[in-house]
Amino acid sequence: MSFCIAIDGPAAAGKGTISKAVAAHFGFAHLDTGLLYRATGAKTFEGLTPIEAAQSLTAEDLKRDDLRSGDAGQAASRVAAVPEVRAALVDFQQAFARREGGAVLDGRDIGTVICPDAEVKLYVTASDEVRAKRRHKELVEKGEEITLEEVLADLRERDERDAARATAPLKPAEDATVIDTSDMSIDEAVAQVLALIGDRRG
């Protein structure tokens, strides 16, 4: 039996961490769809066009060491604005969503475009400042030299581009439950989401 949980939201809001915890709790498969776009963006560093990169994407590309870098994040946002790139990656995501045993997908257009019929739709968000602090801490721990102000500017630039694109803009699905994690610990956020999903599953 398939059961799809769609989790959307902007960068560093906590959706990835929540998604992994939810998948582990219920024994569902998990797909960070942002990695598909990060891997596609990273392949453009090698001279491929965004469309060529998307069409040639393999499972090995999702294991690259540089996918969590700031450069890969910016590249992901740029290639995600190309309709042909999104189209090339839709089939993979939709097949994953309906696999037997349940699936959790997190990204920016899961509830609105990829899985509009998902059994549970969540939109996880947080204030710009809180998200910037989280992402800055993450990048510094990885050895990147970047200021909090630079991270904040980068997040706002990505948010604006993701929300303004003509194809699959970043926004909550009309029937999504919005969860603001600005003043929550990750444990509190996960507990709230698990309770909500438990109610939906009956």
- Give the separation between CA 149 and CA 28, rounded to whole angstroms: 37
pLDDT tier, 183 (very low <50, low <70, confident <90, very high otherwise): very high
Residue 14, annotated ligand binder? yes
Return the exposure string of 103-138: e unless at least 16 CB atoms fall within 10 Å of the residue's CB, then b. Answer: bbbbbbbbbbbbbeebebbbbbbbeeebbbbbbbee
Looking at residue 92, what is its pLDDT?
A: 85
pTM for the whole structure: 0.85
Q: Is residue 133 a known part of a binding site? A: no
pLDDT in tens, 63-103: 899 998 889 989 998 999 899 999 999 988 998 999 999 99
- Residue 27 has, within 13 A of its CA and on its CB side, a CA count of 4
Cβ-based neighbours of 143, under 8 Å, separated by 6 or more: none
Kindly state the DSSP code that residue 176 receives in the 8-state scheme.
P
SS3 170: coil
Tell me whether residue 95 is annotated as binding.
Answer: no
**Tokens of residue 36, six digits:** 């598909």
Q: Report the C-alpha gap between 71 and 38 in whole angstroms.
A: 9
| Structural domains of the chain ordered from first start | 4-201 (3.40.50.300)
> Is 17 labelled as part of a ligand binding site?
yes
Residue 89: both structure tokens together: 């990656």
9 known member of a binding site: yes
User: Residue ranges of the alpha helices (H) in the chain?
Assistant: 15-26, 33-44, 50-55, 70-80, 83-97, 128-141, 148-164, 186-201
- Contact, 145 vs 90, CB < 8 A? no
177 known member of a binding site:
no
Q: Is 166 annotated as a binding residue?
A: no
Q: What is the pLDDT of residue 49?
A: 97
Classified as helix, coil or strand, 185 is coil
What tens digit of pLDDT does each residue of 18-57 get? 999 999 999 999 999 989 999 999 999 999 999 999 999 9
